[in-house]
């Protein structure tokens, strides 16, 4: 038997001693082994990671990092996160968010209007209420009672233009990889948003973030305005613990992005964690859940995108998507980098 060198041992051990490699599967998981680390979805994560890293690099907790990180994205002008995002089909921006720490504490809000930072409201739900999930008017009342400011509710100039353009056809058609953005102008009412807006800011969809701090503890967050021009009252996977986000400090942390309905169907984030519990690498765990979604959707799979990014307790990072185009951002002591995920179809 040919001896295994150190590099080969590290590659094999990234799967865990009890795992196996599927035929034809090439593991692209990122072996980090250095904490702290923060990982986020899409190229928007590069900017969000900067704020999270300020927390982690000065000895802060993963929980503080994932809140501060995605607040950056909530502040940016973009199509799909925060109050300046595109509205629902009735012309209102509604926000969803969730957060979870290393002790199974979690908080979520959905269908929240006129509050700038839904991720911070979700954390307040976790820390200041006996509940996990608040929605709509109740979530807004809770936010106001806890010191948050009620914003005007007026659409941003760009969102208003997009909404008026959409009203001409009123055709709801989610665009694959709108998060990554592949067209030349944010003004496109068909919703093919650009990589960057005219002011140079990244444009994207859901921002999900997971982090490990210097103590080895994991936390995660997710925030979104949901699908543009959605049916009023629609809620996707982002605020649902176990679907869009899940953290088990003994195993790992996962966030999802893409078509929320199909992530919910398979309890996506928690399913990825359970595969990691069985010894699968983060990337392989993500792939197995993506494959399940593909089997469920059958021929309709070509019309959607679903993506997962995960980190295990060893600090190994991996991601996988249904279709080509998903990327994720990783920041550790070696720097802040953007990586392409593997994909199925």
Catalytic residues: 206
Torsion over CA: 171, 172, 176, 182 (sign):
positive
Here the contacts of 286-292 (C-beta below 8 Å, separation 24 or greater) are 286/254, 286/310, 286/318, 286/319, 286/320, 287/22, 287/25, 287/320, 287/342, 287/344, 290/320, 290/321, 290/322, 290/344, 291/344, 292/266
d(CA 269, CA 252): 10
Token couple for 72:
């950056």
Longest dimension (CA), the chain: 70
Mode of pairing for the β-strands spanning 252-258 and 306-312: antiparallel
d(CA 283, CA 296): 20
The position carrying tokens 């980190």 is: 311
Instruction: Name residue 97's beta-bridge partners.
Output: 109, 223
**Strand ranges, E, within the chain:** 37-41, 95-100, 106-112, 133-135, 207-212, 218-224, 245-248, 252-258, 306-312, 317-321, 327-332, 335-340, 342-343
The DSSP 8-state label assigned to residue 341 in this structure reads: P
Cβ contact 240:108 at 8 Å: yes
- Is 159 in a helix, a strand, or coil? helix
The Cα–Cα gap between 278 and 243 comes to 19
> Do 32 and 317 meet the contact criterion of CB atoms below 8 Å apart?
yes
β pairing state of 342-343 and 106-112:
unpaired
């Amino acid at each position: 038997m040919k001896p295994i060198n150190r590099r080969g041992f590290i590659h094999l051990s990234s799967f865990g001693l009890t795992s196996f490699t599927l035929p034809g599967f090439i593991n692209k998981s990122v072996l980090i082994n250095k904490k702290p680390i923060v990982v986020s979805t899409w190229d928007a994560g590069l900017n969000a990671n900067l704020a999270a890293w300020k927390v982690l690099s000065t000895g802060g907790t993963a929980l503080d990092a994932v809140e501060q990180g995605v607040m950056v994205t909530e502040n940016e002008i973009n199509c799909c996160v925060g109050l300046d995002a595109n509205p629902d089909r009735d012309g209102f921006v509604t926000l969803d968010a969730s957060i979870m720490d290393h002790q199974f504490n979690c908080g979520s809000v959905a269908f929240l209007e006129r509050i700038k930072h839904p991720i911070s409201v979700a954390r307040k739900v976790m820390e200041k209420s006996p509940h996990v999930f608040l929605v709509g008017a109740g979530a807004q009342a809770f936010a106001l009672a806890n010191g948050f400011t009620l914003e005007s509710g007026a659409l941003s100039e760009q969102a208003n233009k997009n909404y008026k353009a959409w009203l001409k056809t009123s055709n709801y058609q989610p665009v694959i990889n709108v998060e990554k953005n592949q067209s030349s102008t944010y003004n496109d009412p068909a919703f093919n948003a650009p990589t960057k807006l005219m002011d140079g800011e990244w444009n994207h969809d859901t921002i999900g973030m997971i982090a490990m701090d210097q103590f080895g503890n994991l936390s995660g967050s997710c925030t979104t305005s949901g699908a543009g021009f959605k049916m009023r009252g629609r809620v996707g996977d982002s605020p649902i613990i176990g679907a869009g986000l899940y953290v088990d400090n003994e195993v790992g942390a996962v966030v999802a992005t893409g078509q929320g309905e199909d992530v919910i169907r398979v309890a996506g984030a928690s399913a990825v964690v359970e595969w990691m519990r069985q010894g699968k690498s983060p990337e392989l765990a993500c792939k197995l859940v993506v494959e399940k979604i593909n089997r469920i959707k059958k021929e309709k799979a070509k019309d959607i995108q679903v993506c997962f990014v995960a980190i295990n307790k060893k600090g190994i990072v991996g991601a996988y998507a249904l279709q080509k185009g998903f990327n994720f951002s990783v920041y550790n002591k070696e720097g802040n980098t953007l990586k392409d995920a593997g994909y199925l179809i």
